[in-house]
Amino acid sequence: MLTVEQIRHRLATVKIDVQVTDHRSPTAVALILRAGPGGPEVFFIQRAADERDPWSGNIGFPGGRFQEGDKDLRGAAVRETMEEVGIDLESAAEPLGRLSDIVGAHLPVRVACFVYHLHEAPGIALNPEVSDAFWVPLAALADPGNHEQAEVRFDGKTLVTPAIRLPLRDKPVLWGITYRLICQFMAIVRLRSFICDEGSKL
């Protein structure tokens, strides 16, 4: 079973690609882990339905855009996580490392992802931007049987894209930037032999 120490070590030994400042909006998210009965579990949120939000209804990690007053991108991820779900990463979690940045192909964003492990079980308090929050076993995300080509709606269009079917009822598939980040994470911790299916470009 994969341990926190193994995850920390593998994140520390991989060379990450941190994007230089450019015209894209800097954004930061938190990939949060906890110990589950069958191994590590990953925390996801489902964004509330909002026609103004390009990620409306999608599954993702807590996070958002870098704002004036944020110390750095990690600080932005910590602030957004607290605002969106009420988890104080600075007191309730241990930082394990960082993934390589992801650049959106159709949206001008540059996403930094910071990995944390919860050492206590804080209460969840959703803000109006989030409709749900839940945990998914890392083993289920790595199961090839849950990977598929799925039809998704984006910007008024139907796209066919690589995705992960979650082991939860009435949830959309995991795709886009979050899919690419979770695939990158699984490759680093050696749960999968590839970084990402590059067919998923959002």
64, part of any domain = yes
59 phi and psi angles, rounded to 5 deg: -90, 135
Could you tell me the pTM of the whole model? Answer: 0.92
Rounded alpha-carbon distances, angstroms, from residue 51 to 2, 57, 178: 39, 10, 20
Q: How far apart are CA 37 and CA 131, in angstroms?
A: 26
Q: Which residue has the higher pLDDT, 190 or 12?
A: 12
| pLDDT at site 200 | 56
Tell me: pLDDT of 150 over 60. yes
> What length does the chain have?
202
- Residue 43 makes CB contacts below 8 A (sequence gap 6+) with 31, 32, 33, 34, 61, 62, 118, 133, 134, 135
Pairing of strands 109-118, 25-36: parallel
Query: Could you identify the residue written with the tokens 């988890």?
Result: 87
Q: Strand ranges (DSSP E) for the chain?
A: 25-36, 39-47, 59-60, 63-65, 93-98, 102-103, 109-118, 130-137, 147-154, 157-164
Under the banding of pLDDT at 50, 70 and 90, the label for residue 23 is confident
How many domains are there within the chain? 1
201, part of any domain = no
Q: How far apart are CA 72 and CA 19, in angstroms?
A: 14
Rounded alpha-carbon distances, angstroms, from residue 74 to 80, 89, 104, 187: 10, 10, 19, 22
* Among 63-72, 131-140, 141-150, 151-160, the least confident range: 151-160
**Closest to 187 in 3D by CA, of 153, 155, 146, 142:** 142
Tell me: pLDDT of 123 over 70. yes
96, part of any domain = yes
Tell me: pLDDT of 133 over 80. yes
Q: How far apart are CA 55 and CA 153, in angstroms?
A: 10
Average pLDDT score over residue span 93-116: 92
DSSP string, 111-163: EEEEEEEESS-------TTEEEEEEEEHHHHH-GGGEEEEEEEETTEEEEEEE
109, part of any domain = yes
Average pLDDT score over residue span 10-15: 93
50, part of any domain = yes
CATH of the domain at 94: 3.90.79.10
Residue 101 domain boundaries: 4-138
| pLDDT at site 201 | 52
130 touches 85 (CB < 8 A): yes
Tell me: pLDDT of 192 over 80. no
